[in-house]
Structure 1
Amino acid sequence: MSTHHQKPDVPLAPRARSAGWRDPRLWIGVALVAASVLIGARVLGSADEMTEVWALKADLAAGQQISSEDLEPTRVRFDDEQDARDYVLVRDGVPSDGVLQRSVGAGELLPAKAVGTQGEQLVEVPLTAPVENIPSTLRRGSRVDVYVIPERVGASDPDSTPTATKVLEDVAVIAVPEKDEVIGQVGSRQILVGVPAGADGEIGIVLAAARDNRVQLTKRG
């Protein structure tokens, strides 16, 4: 007696079909890649449209000369090339012997019309005054009026208050020392101001008063 063993039917494993061009997942991937390329191109294009312009690191007053230490490059997008020409561009370099024709504040873009080759000639005058006679907010580029306090003559009226006289008006502050830099035991500070040439008489008066700590500064604006 012979026995025939039949092999059981084993179902064939399904074969993975290759993704065709109709597969939506393929098109989603293509769309994502295209979007990434488009965004990258726009970013690069925007960067190319930026223009580097000089901006001031600190306040500068009219009549002060500009140097590379006063400037820092700033990238700005202008709607029109002519608008960019209203300012001093970095690619044009630092203005040679440039002198400000008006005051420009810290962080402000440097206007082309504010820079000249010949400005008002300023005489640098160091003024020493008691700390309490100098505004605490004074800084480079500030504008000040300089007063002279008269000397007390005699003691016939010890209660009288001397009236200060304005000697210099609207002068530029060129340099201000740190607040902890005081001179002598009376607590004085030295401020460097720029006085228009031709004011020799006024300069002499304030320098003489400064030796006796009789100078008072008031800040404008």
Structure 2
Amino acid sequence: MLNSSGNLDAPPALRATTPGWRDPRLWIGVALVAVSVVVGARVVGGADESVAMWSVSRELAPGDVLEPSDLEVTRVRFAQPADARAYFGVDDELPADRYLLRGIGVGEMVPRAVLGAPRSDIAHVSVSVPSAQVPPSVRSGSVVDVWLAPRPGAETARARLAVSEVTVVEAPRASSGFGAEGQRQLVLGVADEGVDLARVLTASGTDRLMLVGRG
């Protein structure tokens, strides 16, 4: 717009105004900051709740002795803090008897109940079992029941339990080097009580042994 002197009028200057406390944008910003603070505090707090525990760096079989070189540090967050007492933490002193009563897999934490002194009444027995009668999940450290199938021709006979809760000490893969085709050569820890041990040894290699996993 021209003024009386023929020049254009400059538009009036607009001053920036500070948003008032009623401005919804202000409250949205405050809410976002508050949410960020709460989430960050929870993340940091959750990380602080993890504890350093011992786990094993290699697979260990029943009867092995746990050595310090087998251990590595794993940070774990327990849903119930009391559950940590069932395992060895890095601040715990390992017992003098570190004989493994069952196997431990790679990366598994070390339960207190798995360590103890060797049992003199357990014999390590090598047996031949048909591969079809060995559950695929069976490995070193598995606990199984050993059953005897009926003898050939005994149609009315039933399978019977030979010995229960036997630990699998070794469970190599099936190989032609272990004898007849389709056989698994396993090492079982059987109580040396005479009768049970004799049943297992007598049935080994006769295609009569069957293993039933117990978890």
Same fold (TM over 0.5): yes
- Local SS of the residue matching 1:145: strand
Structure 1 residues 101 and 129: CA distance shift in structure 2, 3 A: closer
Matched with 2:175 is 181
Quote the RMSD (CA, aligned, Å): 4.7
Do the aligned partners of 1:149 and 1:216 also contact (CA within 8 Å) in 2?
A: no
Counting only pairs closer than 5 Å after superposition, residues 158-173 of structure 1 correspond to structure 2 as 159=153, 167-173=162-168
Structure 1 residues 14 and 115: CA distance shift in structure 2, 3 A: same
Counting only pairs closer than 5 Å after superposition, residues 121-140 of structure 1 correspond to structure 2 as 121=120, 122-140=122-140
Following superposition, the deviation at residue 33 of structure 1 comes to 2.8
Identity percentage of aligned residues: 25
Following superposition, the deviation at residue 124 of structure 1 comes to 2.1
The higher radius of gyration belongs to 1
Please list the CA deviations of residues 124-160 of structure 1 after superposition, one character each: whole Å capped at 9, or x if unmatched. 222112334434553441322253877x8xxxxxx55
Matched with 2:44 is 44
TM-score normalised by length of structure 2: 0.62
Do the aligned partners of 2:127 and 2:185 also contact (CA within 8 Å) in 1?
A: yes
Do the aligned partners of 1:175 and 1:193 also contact (CA within 8 Å) in 2?
A: yes
Do the aligned partners of 1:173 and 1:194 also contact (CA within 8 Å) in 2?
A: yes
Structure 1 gaps, min length 5: 153-158
Structure 1 residues 94 and 214: CA distance shift in structure 2, 3 A: farther
- Local SS of the residue matching 1:42: helix
Counting only pairs closer than 5 Å after superposition, residues 18-167 of structure 1 correspond to structure 2 as 19=18, 22=21, 24=23, 25-26=25-26, 28-53=28-53, 67=66, 73=74, 75-78=76-79, 83-92=82-91, 95=94, 97-99=97-99, 111-112=111-112, 114-118=113-117, 120-121=119-120, 122-140=122-140, 141-147=142-148, 159=153, 167=162
Partner Cα separation in structure 2 for residue 137 and residue 77 of structure 1:
27
- Local SS of the residue matching 2:85: coil
Number of equivalent positions:
202
Structure 1 residues 213 and 74: CA distance shift in structure 2, 3 A: farther
- Local SS of the residue matching 1:91: coil
Aligned partner letter, 1:186: E
Aligned partner letter, 1:39: V
TM-score normalised by length of structure 1: 0.61
Partner Cα separation in structure 2 for residue 126 and residue 139 of structure 1:
14
